[in-house]
């Protein structure tokens, strides 16, 4: 990939079933670039830094003098989340530290993609951008604001042979283990990205002489994570389309049809997912049962621990940030994806369904719709 990139291998444990310890396997193909070095280089050399917004702002709209003003949101630095982060880093000031404390709002994103119309060639890149930069600049393709920081590895083609040698032959069990290994592999990669240097900067800030001539103590903070639904659940270490299918709250799948009602809004506020010790301890307990061969994935003991909240037995890589930043929650990172979840997802399917209804009622109705 060029300068600054490192090729690595990661180790994941393959559960072998009841009565057998998990077996570690080394998987090559992880390509990473230091998060810290990447944004430090950009902030010190990119002349566009002078357009970055480091202080939070409040944006108000007033229709007329007869109407009250209303707070509106449009950029990262006008959001409540950014203001809260800014206040937190101000409290980290130590005696003698007179540098401005600033939040660098990191906005990572990832999405697996096919590289050709035919064949199986694919890639799984990870990028990040800065919320301190205007969305109108970030939205321009020619601006090239995204920083490529990782190429996630995929399970090798011979993984099925490895499972066969370990005695994993039942198709349903093999499918469960492969899904588990994909989660483990992704979070093993993120563990490499969130290295000691990055965590040090995250906790104490890093002094940077920025390209705009101002020296700042910069605190990197993850403002959001941009991904489609399956990848959100992957990063959150939750079961895709499980009993509680939302990465942010604990609304049951059977209650989704209440969406938009006052009761649904209240349930989403009251039943938010919490990144706390209960979650961490429960997941670790389930992992221990599985990896030590005490029980298997779908046993009653594991199901009782994980199923009620759609948890999975994978240690979340972002747990290391929780240890140094108590208010951090991985479940707060995920934003609605209008393109994939609405325009190309829900709305597209709804439109197709409505067109089929018209076709079934009277084919001429489609022509009338087209005229309109």
Q: pLDDT by residue (tens digit) across 49-69?
A: 999 999 999 999 988 888 899
Q: How far apart are CA 249 and CA 309, in angstroms?
A: 9
Residue 70 C-alpha from the chain's centroid:
31
Q: Are residues 293 and 361 in the same domain?
A: no
Name every residue whose Cβ is closer than 8 Å to that of residue 355 and which is 6 or more positions away in sequence. Answer: 366, 369
Query: Which pair of tokens denotes residue 268?
Result: 């989403």
Tell me whether strands 125-130 and 122-123 are parallel, antiparallel or unpaired. Answer: unpaired
Q: Which residues pair with 207 in a beta bridge?
A: 217
User: What is the three-state SS of 358-370?
Assistant: HHHHCCHHHHHHH
> What DSSP element (H or E) covers 30?
strand 23-33
* Residue 306 confidence (pLDDT) above 90: yes
Residues 245-285 have pLDDT tens digits of 999 999 999 998 898 899 999 999 999 999 999 999 999 99
Q: Are residues 357 and 328 in the same domain?
A: no
Q: Are residues 49 and 78 in the same domain?
A: yes
pLDDT at 343: 66
Q: Which runs of consecutive H residues, i.e. helices, occur in 20-132?
A: 35-45, 80-90
Mean pLDDT confidence for 337-366: 82
pLDDT at 18: 85
Q: How far apart are CA 367 and CA 370, in angstroms?
A: 5
Q: Which runs of consecutive H residues, i.e. helices, occur in 194-317?
A: 196-204, 229-235, 262-270, 277-291, 300-306
Q: Are residues 363 and 238 in the same domain?
A: no
Confidence band (pLDDT; 50, 70, 90) for 1?
low
Quick one: what percent of the chain has pLDDT higher than 90? Answer: 69
Quick one: what percent of the chain has pLDDT higher than 70? Answer: 97
pLDDT at 370: 84
Q: Where are the beta strands (DSSP E) in the chain?
A: 5-14, 23-33, 59-61, 70-72, 101-110, 113-114, 122-123, 125-130, 147-151, 206-209, 215-222
Q: How far apart are CA 8 and CA 153, in angstroms?
A: 10
Residues 180-229 have pLDDT tens digits of 999 999 999 999 999 999 999 999 999 999 999 999 999 999 999 999 88
Q: Are residues 276 and 357 in the same domain?
A: no
* Residue 324 confidence (pLDDT) above 80: yes
CA dihedral for 39, 45, 48, 51, sign (positive or negative): positive
Q: Are residues 287 and 370 in the same domain?
A: no
Q: How far apart are CA 57 and CA 77, in angstroms?
A: 6
The DSSP code sequence of 73-87 is --SGGGSHHHHHHHH
Sheet holding 5-14, edge to edge: 5-14, 23-33, 147-151, 125-130, 101-110, 215-222, 206-209
> What DSSP element (H or E) covers 208?
strand 206-209
Query: Which pair of tokens denotes residue 362?
Result: 């009277």
Q: Are residues 327 and 355 in the same domain?
A: no
Q: Are residues 283 and 355 in the same domain?
A: no
Number of domains forming the structure of the chain: 2
For the stretch 20-54, what's the b/e string if a residue is b when 16 or more beta carbons lie within 10 angstroms of its beta carbon? eebeebebebbbbbbbbeebbebbeebeebeebbb
Q: Are residues 248 and 352 in the same domain?
A: no
CA dihedral for 244, 247, 249, 253, sign (positive or negative): negative
Query: Which pair of tokens denotes residue 67?
Result: 């109407």
Percent helix / strand / coil, the chain, rounded to 5: 45, 20, 35
Q: Are residues 362 and 287 in the same domain?
A: no
pLDDT at 191: 96
pLDDT at 300: 93
Query: Which pair of tokens denotes residue 344?
Result: 């190309």
pLDDT at 2: 64
Q: In the predicted model, what is the mean pLDDT of the chain? A: 91
Is residue 129 a contact partner of residue 146, using CB atoms and an 8 Å limit? Answer: yes
Q: Are residues 242 and 353 in the same domain?
A: no
Is residue 103 a contact partner of residue 85, using CB atoms and an 8 Å limit? Answer: yes
Q: How far apart are CA 98 and CA 95, in angstroms?
A: 8
Phi, psi dihedrals of residue 275, rounded to the nearest 5°: -85, 90
Q: How far apart are CA 359 and CA 154, in angstroms?
A: 43
Q: Are residues 371 and 272 in the same domain?
A: no
For residue 47, the enclosing domain spans 5-335
Residues 79-109 have pLDDT tens digits of 999 999 999 999 999 999 999 999 999 999 9
């Amino acid at each position: 990939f060029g300068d600054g990139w490192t090729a690595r291998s990661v180790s994941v444990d393959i559960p072998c079933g009841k009565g057998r310890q998990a077996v570690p396997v080394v998987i090559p193909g992880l390509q990473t670039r230091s998060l810290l070095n990447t944004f430090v280089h950009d902030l010190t050399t990119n002349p566009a830094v002078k357009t970055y917004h480091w202080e939070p702002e409040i944006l108000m709209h007033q229709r007329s003098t007869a109407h009250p003003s209303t707070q509106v949101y449009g950029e990262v630095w006008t959001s409540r989340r950014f203001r809260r982060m800014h206040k937190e880093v101000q409290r980290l000031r130590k005696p003698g530290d007179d540098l401005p404390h600033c939040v660098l709002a990191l906005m990572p994103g990832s999405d697996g993609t096919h590289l050709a119309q035919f064949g199986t060639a694919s890639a799984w890149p990870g990028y990040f951008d800065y919320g301190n930069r205007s969305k109108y600049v970030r939205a321009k393709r020619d601006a090239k604001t995204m920083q490529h920081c990782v190429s996630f590895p995929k399970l090798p083609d011979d993984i099925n042979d490895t499972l066969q040698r370990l005695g994993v032959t039942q198709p349903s069990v093999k499918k469960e283990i492969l899904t588990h290994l994909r989660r483990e592999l992704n979070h093993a990669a993120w563990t490499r990205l969130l290295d000691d240097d990055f965590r040090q900067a995250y906790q104490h800030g890093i002094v940077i002489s920025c390209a705009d001539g101002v020296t700042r103590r910069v605190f990197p903070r993850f403002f959001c994570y941009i991904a489609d639904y399956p990848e959100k659940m992957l990063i959150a270490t939750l079961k895709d389309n499980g009993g509680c299918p939302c990465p942010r709250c604990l609304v049951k799948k059977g209650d989704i049809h209440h969406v938009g009602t006052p009761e649904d809004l209240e349930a989403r506020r009251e039943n938010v997912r919490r990144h706390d010790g209960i979650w961490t301890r429960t997941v670790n307990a389930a992992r221990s049962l599985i990896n030590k061969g005490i029980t298997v994935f779908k046993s009653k003991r594991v199901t009782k621990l994980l199923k009620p909240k759609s948890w999975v037995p994978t240690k979340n890589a972002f747990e290391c940030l929780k240890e140094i930043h108590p208010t951090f929650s991985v479940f707060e990172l995920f934003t609605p994806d209008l393109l994939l979840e609405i325009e190309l997802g829900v709305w597209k399917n709804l439109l197709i369904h409505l067109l089929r209804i018209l076709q079934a009622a009277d084919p001429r109705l489609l022509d009338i719709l087209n005229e309109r």
